[in-house]
Amino acid sequence: MSPSDRLEVLKTYKLFINGAFPRTESGRSLLVEDKRGKPLAHLCHASRKDLRNAVVAARKAAPGWAKRSAYNRTQILYRMAEMLEGKSQEFTDVIASTVPGGKSRASREVAAAVDRLVAYAGWADKFGQVLGCNNPVAAPFYNFTIAEAMGVVCVVAPAEEPLLGLISLLAPAICAGNTAVVVGSSEHPLATAILGEVCATSDVPAGVVNLLTGQRPELLEVMAGHRDVDAISAAGCTKAERTTLELGAAENLKRVTVDTSKGKEWYDLERMNSPYRIQPFVEMKTIWHPSGA
Amino acid sequence: MSPSPKTASKPELDFGNAWEYAAAPEGTKVAIDAKYGLFIDGEFQKPRSKRYMDTVNPATEEVLAKVAIANQADVDQAIAAAKAAFPKWRRLKPSERAKYLFRIARRIQERARELAVLETLDGGKPIKESRDVDIPEAAKHFFYHAGWADKLDYVFPGRKGAPLGVCAQIIPWNFPLLMAAWKIAPALACGNTVVLKPAETTSLTALRLAEIFQEVGLPPGVVNIVTGAGITGAALAAHKDVKKLAFTGSTDVGKELARNLAGSGKRLTLELGGKSPNIIFDDASIDQAVDGVVQGIYFNQGHVCCAGSRLFVQEGIMEEVLTRLQVRIESLRVGDPLDKNTDLGAINSIGQLATIKRYIEAGNSEGARMFQSKAKLPKQGYWCRPTWFTDVQPSHTIAREEIFGPVLSVMSFRTPEEALTRANNTPYGLAAGVWTDKGSKIFEIASRLKAGVVWCNSYNRFDAASPFGGYKQSGFGREGGRQGLLPYLELNS
What's the pLDDT tens digit per position in A256-291? 999 999 999 999 999 999 999 999 999 999 999 999
Do A253 and B453 count as a contact with CB atoms less than 8 A apart? Answer: no
Choose among B308, B301, B299, B305: nearest CA to B278. B308
Do A148 and B140 count as a contact with CB atoms less than 8 A apart? Answer: no
Which residues have CB under 8 Å from B76's CB, separation 6+? B239
Which fold, B35-272+472-491? Aldehyde Dehydrogenase; Chain A, domain 1 (3.40.605)
CA-to-CA distance for B469 and B446, rounded, in angstroms? 16
| Bridge partners (DSSP) listed for residue B314 | B413
Is the four-CA dihedral B296, B301, B302, B304 of positive or negative sign?
Answer: negative
pLDDT (0 to 100) of residue B27: 87
B455: distance to nearest CA of chain A, Å?
A: 5
Binned at pLDDT 50, 70 and 90, residue B8 comes out as very low
Residues 323-362 of B with CB under 8 A from A: none
Strands of B240-363, DSSP E: 242-248, 267-271, 277-280, 310-314
Answer whether B493 touches A (CB < 8 Å).
Answer: yes
Do A138 and B140 count as a contact with CB atoms less than 8 A apart? Answer: yes
Domain segments of chain A as ranges: 13-290
Do A145 and B481 count as a contact with CB atoms less than 8 A apart? Answer: yes
Q: Is B277 helix (H, G, I), strand (E, B) or coil?
A: strand
B134: distance to nearest CA of chain A, Å?
A: 15
pLDDT (0 to 100) of residue A44: 97
Answer whether A274 touches B (CB < 8 Å).
Answer: yes
Domain segments of chain B as ranges: 35-272+472-491, 277-456
> Phi/psi of residue B377, each to 5°?
-105, 145
Do A135 and B466 count as a contact with CB atoms less than 8 A apart? Answer: yes
Which residues of chain A fall short of a pLDDT of 50? Answer: none
Do B454 and A249 count as a contact with CB atoms less than 8 A apart? Answer: no
User: Comparing A13-22, A284-293, B291-300, B405-414, which segment has the lowest mean pLDDT?
Assistant: A284-293
Name which of A145, A178, A230, A245 to mutate to probe chain B: the one with the most chain B Cβ atoms within 10 A of its Cβ.
A145
Residues 116-175 of B with CB under 8 A from A: 140, 156-159
Q: Is B46 helix (H, G, I), strand (E, B) or coil?
A: coil
CA-to-CA distance for A251 and A268, rounded, in angstroms? 35
Do A137 and B258 count as a contact with CB atoms less than 8 A apart? Answer: no
Answer whether B467 touches A (CB < 8 Å).
Answer: yes
Q: In chain A, whose CA is at the least distance from the CA of B492?
A: A271
pLDDT (0 to 100) of residue B10: 54
pLDDT (0 to 100) of residue B7: 45
Is the four-CA dihedral B171, B176, B177, B182 of positive or negative sign?
Answer: negative
A15: distance to nearest CA of chain B, Å?
A: 29
Domain B277-456, classified CATH 3.30.390.30, yes or no: no
pLDDT (0 to 100) of residue B218: 98
Question: Looking at the predicted structure, is the pLDDT value of residue B153 above 70?
Answer: yes
Percent share of chain B, pLDDT over 90: 95
pLDDT (0 to 100) of residue B373: 96
B159: distance to nearest CA of chain A, Å?
A: 9
A24: distance to nearest CA of chain B, Å?
A: 31
Is the four-CA dihedral A137, A141, A147, A150 of positive or negative sign?
Answer: negative
Answer whether B442 touches A (CB < 8 Å).
Answer: yes
Contacts of A128 in chain B (CB under 8 A): none
Question: Looking at the predicted structure, is the pLDDT value of residue B9 above 60?
Answer: no
CB atoms within 10 A of CB A217: 12
pLDDT (0 to 100) of residue B1: 45
Catalytic residues of B: 271, 305
CATH homologous superfamily for A13-290?
A: Aldehyde Dehydrogenase; Chain A, domain 1 (3.40.605.10)
pTM (global) more than 0.90: yes
